[in-house]
Each structure stands twice: as structure tokens, then as C-alpha cells.
Chain A
Amino acid sequence: MAVSESEESRKRGVVAVVEPAGHKLPLSMAGPGAMGKTGYWRTQRPVVNTEKCTGCYLCWLYCPDNVIEMVPGKGPRGQDIPVIDYDYCKGCGVCAAVCPVKAIDMVDESKFLAKEKEEGDGNA
């Protein structure tokens, strides 16, 4: 059976509106990953040093991709610390540049992954 576009869109969790003339229009709904996992674009990886972090929220405020979430009271000194969603972080480095205490380091993504793999093999 041929699936009309509106039924198709309803299947994928997308609301289809019916306009006054009776046409069904597919609507895009806000949600993460409009362009897939944009973390694959990354060449530099931001790594948070929670010891240095003062919980000032500037990285959270400036992040253009909104991948930083502030977790209240989880820092070593009870401060709020940023947690980065690496699935979507594009690695632009704005967070590291605006950090007043330089608590975010930008490390090479390929080296980081190689190191992670090595450590993973060692544990296994």
C-alpha cells in the first residue's frame, strides 16, 4: 500500500497539520540531530579539567551547538561543572577560548581516540 507523505511523517514522529484547504503538510519538529551525529565533524576535542573549573557558566552560554550541560554541584569543590555531549560537539573550541581559567583543553581527536583504544585494549 502506498503511504502518503502525511502518514509517513506521522510514523516518524512528525506532526502533520491540516490546513484550511484540506492539504496535509509535513512539519519538521525540533529535536537533536537535524544533521545526524555532528560529532563526526570534530578534529579537536574539548576536555574539561574539573579541578580548575569554577562553574561560571560561560562555556555553556557561548556554546554555538548547545552541547554543554551544566550539572549542579558535581564538581570536586561542589561547584557546577560542564558536561559535553560528544555525539554532537563539532569541536569549534569556543568554550576553551572563552574559559576565564583555561579549564578546557583542546586535544587532537585522532590522538585521543588512539589513546582511548590503547587503554581499552590494556584493560581487556
Chain B
Amino acid sequence: MAVNIKKLPKKPYVMPGHAACPGCPESMGFKYLGMALGDKAVVVIPAGCSSVIQGLWPRQGFGLPILNIVFAAAASTASGLARALKRRGVDAQVVVWAGDGGTADIGFQALSAAAERGEDIIYICVDNEAYMNTGIQRSGLTPYGAWTTTTHTGKRQFKKPLPQIVAAHRVPYVATTSVGYPWDFIAKLKKAASIRGFKYIHLHAPCPVGWRFDPSLTAKIAQLAVETGAWILYEYENGKLRLNPPSNRLIDPEKRKPVEEYLKLQGRFRHLKPEDVEMIKKEIETNWEEITRALKIQGDL
């Protein structure tokens, strides 16, 4: 599904003057959500940066109907909302817009339960790789070696493979995407909206404040993460795995940029020793091996 940038809706779904930090990937991503789904979307937001970005009463910074809810209940609230709207005959698509803490750690049981029940919602995990809103604490999705205020010498554990965990629930659609590739995100949202059942999209969102880089580099760092192979764009459609551009040509390690290019721009990796960089490279290799193995079993490689 190709996206023509010039034909995207001009209606503002993120209002100027909201409360996000300069260069925020979440408000960028929310814009694409509005562009893809339009006024059909009803958004459930658990605690996180996005509940703050909306700003102060009587104005709000997001141009879609929003229900703010507690951390642990995002997916269960969305389930009820989707069923109620369906019963009332409202043509709407309920979307959960949760952070990585609200997805991988605190909201995980509700997410898993909603996936198992096959609720008709789109669950978007906006992964900025730590609890940014409360002051950059580590989460289950913080990568190896990253500095946070609770891992001063770098995290010693690896990132949870959340898209694979959700795909193991055998839901109809699971995808990973990045704010650096808005056309990819918009196309995946449109595809997800056309499928009935539980859909999960994992959005990689580099945070200038928490990752310690210049706010102008948000989109560039998101693109570098993909080009170096540290973040892989793929989708599971009815259990069938497919790599998406530009990740599909990066299956050959020769074509990937060196991961140091991605790491050196970020202050959170400043303290890394050469052996830590080796560990990160090994983790990237393991992720790609898993993908390659799955593609081979399918007979696509």
C-alpha cells in the first residue's frame, strides 16, 4: 500500500502549542495516526508522556476523542469501548496509544488478555525505551547498555522481544514500524484498520530527552536505527512473517551501516566499553538470525 505524502489529509490531528518537549516523537507519531485513520479513531491513552502532551483544560493538544485511563487497564478499557461502540452501531476504530512501560511492564496482562480474547482493537506501543514521563527509569524495553536514571552504568539485560511475544498469541496482525518512516506507519495502520480482530503495532520512537541527543535528530536517529539493523521493520499477517522496506534489503549484514554510527549520537550510550558494543552487535545478530530462521521455515528465503 503506497502512501502519497502530498495527498495525506491536511486536517490537524496534533494541535500547535501542545505540551510535548521540542522534537517529540510521540506527537509526530500521533499525527500519523490521525492521518491514517481520520475521524474514525477513538483513542485510549494510559498514563505516560501522551497523557501529558494533551496540555491543560480547557484546550487539548490532540484532535481525536481520547479517554485517559490508568496504566494497567488500557487494553481492557479499549475492549469494553470497542464492544459498546459496536453495539451502538458507531463506525469507529478503537486504538490504544500506550508507552513501552504501559505495554511491556504494567499493562502487559491486559494486553495479553485482550489479544487472547481477540478484541477488535489496534494496540500501538510507542516505544521510547524507558519511562520518560516520570524521569527516564528503565523499562522492560530498554536496550542493553543504555543509561537511565535507574541503570547508571547501563542496563545489563536485553530488550523484551515484545512483537514476537504478541505474535505468539496468534493474532491476525502484528507489525513493527518507526517514526522515521511515516509512510510505513501510515500504510500499516490502514492495513490494520481493514482487518477485524486484535492488531498490534510497535512504533520505535527515539526520545531526545531520555536518549540524550539533539532534538533536531529525532527522525534521523529513527532512520539510523533501521539502517544499522538495530530496529527491524517487519509484519506478521496471519502468522506469516514479511520484512518491509528498507529492512528487507538489510538481511545481508554487509548492507547494514555500522551500529556505532547509531550509538555515538546518543548520550545514553556514551559510557559503553568496546565489549558492551560487542554485546549489542551480538544481540542485533541474534534478532536477525531469528527473522532469517522464520523466513526459511516459511520457505521465503
Which A positions have Cβ atoms within 8 angstroms of B?
Answer: 9, 12-14, 26, 28-38, 41, 56-58, 61-67, 70, 80, 85, 87-94, 96-98, 106
Query: Which residues of chain A are near B16, meaning CB under 8 Å?
Result: 32-33, 38, 65-67, 85, 87-89
Could you tell me the dominant secondary structure of chain B's interface residues?
loop
Q: Identify which of A13, A65, A88, A97 gathers the most chain B CB atoms within 10 Å of its CB.
A: A65
Known A-B contacts A61-B5, A64-B28; the reply to A31 vs B219 at CB < 8 A is no
Q: What per-residue 1/0 map shows which CB atoms of B8-43 lie under 8 Å from chain A?
A: 101011111111111111011001000000000000
B31 near A90 with CB under 8 A, answer: no
Question: Within 8 Å of chain A (Cβ to Cβ): is B273?
Answer: no
**Residue from B8, B56, B64 in contact with A35 in the complex, judged by beta carbons closer than 8 Å:** B56
Known A-B contacts A65-B27, A94-B215; the reply to A32 vs B182 at CB < 8 A is no
Question: Within 8 Å of chain A (Cβ to Cβ): is B89?
Answer: no
Closest to A70 in B: B10
A57 near B6 with CB under 8 A, answer: yes
Q: How far is the CA of A30 from the CA of B53 in the complex (A)?
A: 12
Q: 25 A-B contacts, Cβ less than 8 Å apart?
A: A28-B54, A28-B58, A30-B15, A30-B59, A30-B60, A31-B59, A31-B60, A34-B55, A35-B19, A36-B17, A57-B6, A61-B8, A64-B24, A64-B218, A65-B16, A65-B27, A66-B12, A66-B16, A80-B6, A88-B17, A92-B208, A92-B216, A93-B23, A97-B216, A98-B219
Known A-B contacts A66-B14, A93-B216; the reply to A58 vs B5 at CB < 8 A is yes
* Chain B residues touching A, range: 35 or more
Known A-B contacts A41-B22, A65-B14, A88-B16; the reply to A34 vs B182 at CB < 8 A is no
B55 near A35 with CB under 8 A, answer: yes
Question: Within 8 Å of chain A (Cβ to Cβ): is B279?
Answer: no
Query: Which residues of chain B are near A61, meaning CB under 8 Å?
Result: 5, 8, 182
Least Cβ–Cβ distance between A83 and chain B, in angstroms: 12
B218 near A28 with CB under 8 A, answer: no
Q: How far is the CA of A80 from the CA of B5 in the complex (A)?
A: 13
Query: Which residues of chain A are near B19, meaning CB under 8 Å?
Result: 34-35
Question: Within 8 Å of chain A (Cβ to Cβ): is B293?
Answer: no
A64 near B62 with CB under 8 A, answer: no
B5 near A34 with CB under 8 A, answer: no
